[in-house]
Structure 1
Amino acid sequence: MNFNAVAQDAVIPLWPNSVPNQKVSDEQEIDRMENIRWVRNVQNPVIEVYLPSKAINTKRAVLLFPGGGYQGLAYNWEGVDFAKTFNAKGVAGIVVKYRLPISKSISEKQYEVPLQDAQRAIRIVRSKAKEWEIDPEKIGIMGFSAGGHLASSLGVHYDVEVYPYQDEADKFSARPNSMALIYPVISMQSATTHGGSRESLLGKNPSEELISRFSSEKQVNMSTPPTFLLHAMDNEAVPVENSTLFFEALRKNKIPTTSHIYPTGGHGFALALDHPLLKNWVVMYLDWLNTF
């Protein structure tokens, strides 16, 4: 089935040779349309690149990390749909099909696998900036739900070595110039986290060291990128405290931050085109992005 009315400009594998932390498995990637398009059991992580027309190109780019509880990826809903929306505004949209830590093909340290793919993805984009007519200092990231956790992890752990050197792309920085976290899982602390995302990433009985390491609100420092936060107070899946705790950590470290907390919207609203309060949030985000 052709899921995309507009074809992507490029599909690039993240790893040129062997994929780190991956062993031979009989597991097959699943990509099917249910209520939305879900991708599961990712075996060959890639980036799908959607570039704007030259006439309206702002030379900005945003890497998109779909959510799905670290068990799947809501691939169109929180990925391709946004890439196309951004293209219409002159922004390159790059969807990251990242590996999921619950995969049977993961050989060790399953909690590092999504971050490995995230770091590698932004380095590849920076290495291709000239070819794709992107300003390498205007590369942002956006993550949703568990993808928001991955995006925040990249924002606070961009300089942590989690995989061995691959090629010339790894000479580029993995630091995003900005990040947008949309109804994100931020904390792995039991009182705040989304239990399914935590168990998928860290396992059933994680150590306190791992919990702290992957609680992004505890890892913020003065080099953390400027951040855009969006959450709804009635989100019963991922408590709004994930965003408010992160906001407070950003404020303490004097990181330029915009936070939008809405009374309604629940979880997983994506573009929210039918919601009376949230329907214009992408416009607000793009206005904010243009300031960096």
Structure 2
Amino acid sequence: MPQVILGWLLFAALAAAPQRGEEIRLWPNGAPGSEGVTAAEVSKPSTNPKYNGWSSNFTVTHYPSIYVFLPPADKATGAAMIVAPGGGHTQLVIEKEGWEIADWLNANDIAAFVLKYRLAKAPGSTYTLPEHVYADAARAMRLVRSRAAEWKIDPARIGFGGFSAGGEVAGMIETKFDRGKPDADDPIDRYSSRPDFNVLIYPWYRPGANKPDDTPLFPVPTDAPPVFMVCADDDRSHVEPTVKFYLELEAKKIPAEMHIYAYGGHGFALRPTQKPAPVTGWPERLKEWFAERNISKP
């Protein structure tokens, strides 16, 4: 009889756990700014058998979501990272800069949540940058933190990471967050949107965007979380904003580590570059940074 009970409990636990890549909408009844939208999202299917039935990229998004990737329970460190793919806000390169990154994090015993955010620059889009995109990122932080106990995550080790345009999203959540709204009607809004760490890979950060001078879009607060950044020097449109953001962090004494590689171009993610380049070693540097800051320590 005890074996039967144990087997039933194991089955129940497995049944309750989210499936790899399970999608959870950030607002089940519709996101602010998307109320009443019933249009379908548009995506291209992946041709990788590993991601059979999944999308390789989205070109129209209306229903911001996270996709859940949890490491094996017996190996999980308790750390987690929300991953924002890039795509210039016209698309989401969700396979290369989402699924593959989530699998890498899981292989290093870190939970991952791939963020599908709304595309503010897609043709015909009614969404705005930063308003709707930032709202999606902040909501993702709150939602994951609200379910930390369920997913066996340390609520003090939930970070954010972004690639290219997703790095811009990471810059937004780095510099504009709150500690939660205790009186909010929605219980999820009572949780903090502040990431505990931030990872920006070849980010597009807009210091002075929509402003006549070089004033940051969102000034860096003194309690911003620590940051890890990577870019290639031959990625000219991205390396300068990366360095500027690093200097802003340094000015506010925010712990920051920046790696600028001689070449590697843009959009390398975890894939090999056209010619062998040291930039492909950035994941090892990130692992070292995680360990140094006790992020990946169980």
Report the counterpart of residue 107 of structure 2 in structure 1.
Answer: 88
Which residue of 72, 80, 86 maps to 1:53? Answer: 72
User: Where does residue 181 of structure 1 map in the other structure?
Assistant: 200
1:38 positional shift: 1.4
Q: What is the aligned partner in structure 1 of residue 82 from structure 2?
A: 63
C-alpha offsets along residues 174-231 of structure 1, whole Å, 9 cap, x if unaligned? Answer: 00000010000112547xxxxxxxxxxxxxxx4549x8463x5xx1121111000100
Match of 1:19 among 31, 35, 58: 31
Q: Which has the larger displacement, 26-35 or 126-135?
A: 26-35
Q: In structure 2, how many angstroms separate the alpha carbons of the residues matched to 1:44 and 1:175?
A: 22
Aligned residue for 2:13?
none
Query: Which sections of structure 1, spanning at least 5 residues, go unmatched?
Result: 1-6, 191-205
Query: Using the alignment, how far apart are the partners of 1:133 and 1:24 within structure 2?
Result: 34
Deviation, structure 1 residue 28: 3.4
Residue 156 of structure 1 aligns to which amino acid in structure 2? T
Q: How many residues align?
A: 264
3-state SS in 2 of match to 1:279: helix
| 8 Å contact kept, 2:58–2:94 | yes
Identify the residue that residue 202 of structure 1 maps to in structure 2: none
Which residue of the other structure, out of 130, 134, 155, is the alignment partner of 2:153?
134
Percent identity of equivalent pairs:
34
Coordinate RMSD, CA, aligned = 2.6
TM-score by length of 2: 0.81
Q: Match for residue 285 of structure 1? A: 286
Q: Deviations over 1:32-62 (max 9, x none)?
A: 0489921111011110010000121100001
- For 1:85 and 1:123, the matched residues in 2 are separated by 23
For residues 129 and 76 of structure 2, the distance between their equivalents in structure 1, rounded to whole angstroms, comes to 38
Q: Deviations over 1:117-148 (max 9, x none)?
A: 00000100000100000000001111011110
Secondary structure at the counterpart of residue 229 of structure 2: strand
Residue number in structure 2 paired with 1:196: none
The Cα shift of 1:27 comes to: 4.9
Provide the C-alpha distance between the structure 2 equivalents of 1:281 and 1:220, rounded to a whole number of angstroms: 25
1:1-292 matches, within 5 Å, as 8=20, 10-22=22-34, 24=36, 27-33=39-45, 37-102=56-121, 104=124, 106=126, 109-159=128-178, 165=184, 167-189=186-208, 206=210, 208=212, 212=215, 214=217, 216=218, 219-236=219-236, 238-274=237-273, 275-290=276-291, 291=293, 292=295
Inter-partner Cα distance in structure 1 for 2:208 and 2:60: 26
Does the aligned pair in 2 maintain the 1:16–1:166 contact within 8 Å? no
Q: CA deviation at 1:23?
A: 5.2
